[in-house]
Each structure stands twice: as structure tokens, then as C-alpha cells.
Structure 1
């Protein structure tokens, strides 16, 4: 039986709240204690209606405002790597919280929870979403499940996903396509190798094409997205005395959101013309959508406090799910995305505060 999580204190400072969230381990498929704790702390708040599907919690205001914003974050993490409980290095806003989930993305969840409790009369109605299973296979994703089974819970005019962006705004996201490029051979005893055809040797041409490939940088709605085509795995052979009759190279294509899934697949098949190409996973990207009036208002308000300029999101995120619902969405949260999933994951306190203050001011 899962051990009940200790109660959360939404009146605590952001550093304390982030550490409390992180110190409740919630690797994918083990989110229930944390989901229970979030539900328990939000349900008594009179200004919120709290809904639940599995380990996804939705809390929303119903004030009749002319616009509704969805603010979402996932509560699962990748497995712990001897980096919990959290530890605090430094003091004040210069402090850093070290530990699993501080960046991806319980720092963002802490910002959500603090604002959900504080903003009793926001200028826009707000739907706060805390969902499960983001770090695993797409078909398990809690946000996707809610979109399929309760689409009305996610209705809104604009969405903010609190993925780590170092407290900057990152618009849209690249799409991702994973394929297996299969190289055939003929099995034989390795003592009589000339009677067979070595599939692993034949994979050299696949690797040469990847080595020679020049990825594009594509401008989409004013942001430049960097693409990438890379081998991420290779397998072949069944025994050390058998010439392998098949070698499979797994390739990941990260493509600009101006391409459709069909166009991305067509491009990969062109690169590997002459080989069998099998698609094993695919997710469309999301255009920035920063020309939407609500998005433009958000960008202006946030950047007035944080400075800088919007940037592209190179990795795939759940903004693509909001885009598929016809809703413009941006990534905005504390933590350096380069540190996500790393053993030395850590989040600066000043970024927690900056995201809290900027998002809170805009919603107010």
C-alpha cells in the first residue's frame, strides 16, 4: 500500500513548498500519494472546484470571467538517483534547491499551488491542472487521458505549461519521430562467414547517411527551431558465433513545428531510401501561437517583469496537446531545462519567485 504523503502547507515560502513536493518521491506510476496530498490541500479552498481522474487533479475557478486560462504541470518524475531528500545550498533568492524533481518539474508545480491558493479573485478564470505519467509512454500521459475522457475540463482560451524554461518564455515545441531502420543480412556460422551477409556491417551505410546529414534551422512565426536526426540505439546479432541476419538502427528525428507528422515521416524515409523504415513513436509539434491576442498579452506582461525575449522550445512538451485542442500555449517555469533528469538537478530560488510573481501579476 502507498504510504500517505504528509500534508502540504500552501502558506509556506516557495523554497519550502518545492522541497516538500520533491521530498514526496513520485516517479511515474507512483504519483498517488502526491496526487492525494494535492487534492487534500486544494479541496477545502472555497474558490476552487476540484476534480480528479486517476492521479490527475484539476482545480478551477468559476467566476464567469470573459476568458479562461489553463495552467498545467506534471507531478511525476524520472526515477530517483540517490538525489533525495532535497538539500538547500546558499541563502535567500541566491539559494539553489538540489534534488530530483526540482527542475522537472516540481518547482513549477509549487508555483502553481501557491498561486492557486492565493488568487481567489483572478482577472481571468483559471484551470489548474496537475497530471500524472508525463515522463513515460505517450499513451499513459495523464493530460492526454483527461483530454480524451473529460475534454470540458481543459476548455480555455490560452494555456501555460510550467515546464522548466529558466523563467523565460518558450513558445511551441519541436515534434518528435522515432523510427527503426532495418538492415537485412543472411545468417551463417561465423567460421564460414563468406556464406552469409553481415547485417551489422551493412548498417555502416545508415550511419554514414546520419553522419553526413545537416539538420535544418527553421523559422516558425518568428522563432527559430533547430532540428536533429540522430541514431539513439542499435541492435543486432543473436550469438557470438553467428553472422547476424538483421541489424536495427533506432533513429530520432526532432523536427520544426511547421512540419506535419506526415511530412516528417516522408523526410525520414527519403533520407533512408532503400531501407525498411518502421515508425515506432510520433508526436506532432506545436507552433508558437504568440500572435494570439491572449498569448501576446501574456508575453508582454511577463517580459515586463523578467526581461528577455521569447525563445523556441527544442524538446517536445505537452503544449502540443493544447495545440491539438485548438488552444495556443507556451512553456514558462523555473529551472534550467538542461539540468532536467540529471543527477545534479537543481533549481534557483530566484526563478521560483520570478515565475510566481510574473504569472500572478498577469492573472491578477
Structure 2
């Protein structure tokens, strides 16, 4: 069934409904990407570029600086929550349905501003990308960073992820390691004949229980680190002394640290233990010392907070572009069956971004 053309100059809440109702579960973004591309191509002030199902629209006004504003167009699977409904909840109007929070309300704000803000005071690169909700290898922003890094070049970036319309600067990095403890199998009736690997993990667990996470100031925001056991496995039967135990540990580290710094810290914490790095993603500095960032925080009329979870702002940081998260919707409602975004937050984000991009 053909999709009705998107009206990018419509009320931003109606635009949110329209793009949410174009189902775009990861891997099925083409229909929405087609609609976004067709809608943006109508505007002569925008250069429109397509890479797979990622759409990039840029102004080329010769401004002294350029900013990037990005958002992903895919969602997690639908859970009987489409089409979108307008509901009254706790004395507030909300849009209820898949994608309203994560993150098509933010995308609608981007689209509305891309179409109607023809003379921004900074050149703007608007990015609408695919495959954010699946494995990192498929991520459309990552693909653009590899294939067309010049399209991400900017002095500052905003990712319109849900933040309840509050600025969340940068993000912590994350590292996952496996601590492996070896033992010797034996019958559990004669444990002295073996060595219990699970008991061998006790020292690591004690270290984790006593660990005091650091609080580190980065560009004026205080990031709280964390170090936790998230998985543990060992043993083959209830009557066998286990010869191996693996404790999986997740370290969330401040964006002032590199992956190498994080690994070095963990090797010091778990000195003498067998440790294997299984996965790592570096964090992102918020860059709140930049003029663009200061103007952005002022325009939102909010107080910037640190982002403890990892987001795609880290991809900008890897390219030397400081970035913040800012978008409508409570992130705790992302992926939930009752996903819903307050209408007031959609309007607030539109107003704040418009004000920021209009500051002379």
C-alpha cells in the first residue's frame, strides 16, 4: 500500500503520528526512508544524500561553522501499539504507540526544522539513519562514519534520543570483560580431591562488592562510573566440583578515559586474575566548553546532566565531534509496550532547537 506523502510543515505532533504509523522495525526502514527522502527533496535549501536507508540533508549557506543533528528511524518490534493514539494520561496529552519515544518524536522535530528553518545561523547536517536497534555492525550512523565521514564533520552534534527534553551531555563508555577461574574436577563427596573454581571467584566478587565507583568531572558534568558482575557461570552437574567459573563484569567508565585506560584500570583492580576483554565502546565527551554547546544549553533553558548509558553520541566523539543527547520522551518508556511521549515535550524540543539554530 502506497504511503501518503509526508507534510513536513504540518504540526510536529501530527508529523510524529504520521511517521510512527509507517512501521519501520529494524531491517524494514525502506518505506519510511523513501518517504523522508521524497519529502526533503522538495526543499531547495537542502542537499539530500542517501546511503542505504540513511538520509542526510544539509544546508550549504557558507556559515562559519556546521552542526549535526541526528536521529534513527528504526524501532524495536511492534507490540499491538500501532497505529498511534492520542490519549490523556495524568492530566497530559500523550502520543501512545511504538516509536513515539524511541525515537520518532525526535525525528519529527528534526524533519519539521529541516524543512522550515531555511536560514539557520549555523550550517546544519540533518541525519536520519537506520539499524540503530540491532547489532552495531549494521548501524547506519556507523556506516556513514566509515563510508562518508565528511558528512559527520561538524563542530558540535545533537542526537535526538529521548531525554525528557533535558540536555544529557556525552555518555559513559562501556567495557565487558570475562574473569575466568580454573579448578580441578572431583566428586562432590570428595571435594579435597579437586579444586573448586566457583569458590575461586570469591575474591573477585568481594572486590566488586567493595568497589567504590569514581565520580569524574568532564567538561563540567560529573559522570558516575560503575563496576558490576552481570553474569556468572560454572559447573556441569550438582555432584561435580566445578573446574571452571566465569564471571562477566561490566565497567561503565567516564568519557575522559579511553578504552585502553579502562582496560588498564580493570587489570589493576583484578590483578593476578585471568581477564579477557569481550566488548568495548568508548564514551563521548559533552564538549560543554564549546560556544555551540553553551548556546545550546541556554536555548533549552535546562541544566545539562551527564548521560550514564552509552548512545551513538560516542560515534561523533570518535570523530572528534563533541555531542549531547536531547529529545522528547522518557527513556524508561523506550521499547515498552506502553511507549508514550508527552505532547508538551515534542513542542518543547522543537522550540528549543529552533531557538538554538536561530541565535545570531
TM-score after normalising by structure 1 = 0.90
Where does structure 1 lack aligned partners over 5 or more consecutive residues?
Answer: none
- What secondary structure is seen at the aligned counterpart in 1 of 2:74? coil
How far the C-alpha of 1:72 sits from its partner, in A, is 0.5
Among 164, 170, 177, the alignment partner of 1:172 is 170
How far the C-alpha of 1:190 sits from its partner, in A, is 5.4
- Matched residues in 2 for 1:323 and 1:158: separation? 10
Retained in 1: the 8 A contact 2:22–2:32?
Answer: yes
User: Compared with structure 1, are the counterparts of its residues 200 and 21 closer, same or farther at alpha carbon in structure 2 (3 Å cutoff)?
Assistant: farther
How far the C-alpha of 1:4 sits from its partner, in A, is 6.3
Retained in 1: the 8 A contact 2:213–2:226?
Answer: yes
Retained in 1: the 8 A contact 2:220–2:288?
Answer: no
- Matched residues in 2 for 1:25 and 1:269: separation? 45
Tell me how many residue pairs correspond in the alignment: 357
User: Compared with structure 1, are the counterparts of its residues 86 and 235 closer, same or farther at alpha carbon in structure 2 (3 Å cutoff)?
Assistant: farther
Aligned to 1:144: 142
Deviations 1:53-110 (A, max 9, x none): 122111111222222211101122233344433332229x931122332222111111
- Matched residues in 2 for 1:188 and 1:343: separation? 48
Deviations 1:8-61 (A, max 9, x none): 332332222222322333333332222222222222322211111122111111
Among 207, 210, 223, the alignment partner of 2:208 is 210
Aligned to 1:340: 334
Where does structure 2 lack aligned partners over 5 or more consecutive residues?
Answer: none
- What secondary structure is seen at the aligned counterpart in 2 of 1:15? helix
- Listed as ranges, the matches of 1:93-242 within 5 Å are 94-188=92-186, 194-238=192-236, 242=240
How far the C-alpha of 1:240 sits from its partner, in A, is 5.5
- What secondary structure is seen at the aligned counterpart in 2 of 1:57? strand
TM-score after normalising by structure 2 = 0.91
More deviation, 242-251/102-111: 242-251
Retained in 2: the 8 A contact 1:5–1:36?
Answer: no
Retained in 2: the 8 A contact 1:172–1:312?
Answer: yes
Residue 363 (1) aligns with residue 357 (2) = yes
- What secondary structure is seen at the aligned counterpart in 1 of 2:309? coil
User: Compared with structure 1, are the counterparts of its residues 34 and 199 closer, same or farther at alpha carbon in structure 2 (3 Å cutoff)?
Assistant: farther
- What secondary structure is seen at the aligned counterpart in 1 of 2:163? coil
- What secondary structure is seen at the aligned counterpart in 1 of 2:285? coil
- Matched residues in 2 for 1:233 and 1:299: separation? 39
Retained in 2: the 8 A contact 1:4–1:33?
Answer: no
User: Compared with structure 1, are the counterparts of its residues 201 and 68 closer, same or farther at alpha carbon in structure 2 (3 Å cutoff)?
Assistant: same
Deviations 1:264-312 (A, max 9, x none): 1111222222321111111111222111122222222332xxxx31111
Residue 17 (1) aligns with residue 15 (2) = yes
Aligned to 1:312: 306
Aligned to 2:343: 349
- Matched residues in 2 for 1:281 and 1:56: separation? 26
Residue 327 (1) aligns with residue 321 (2) = yes
- Matched residues in 2 for 1:210 and 1:81: separation? 38
Aligned to 2:72: 74
More deviation, 180-189/45-54: 180-189
User: Compared with structure 1, are the counterparts of its residues 66 and 210 closer, same or farther at alpha carbon in structure 2 (3 Å cutoff)?
Assistant: same
Among 285, 288, 292, the alignment partner of 1:287 is 285
- What secondary structure is seen at the aligned counterpart in 2 of 1:234? strand
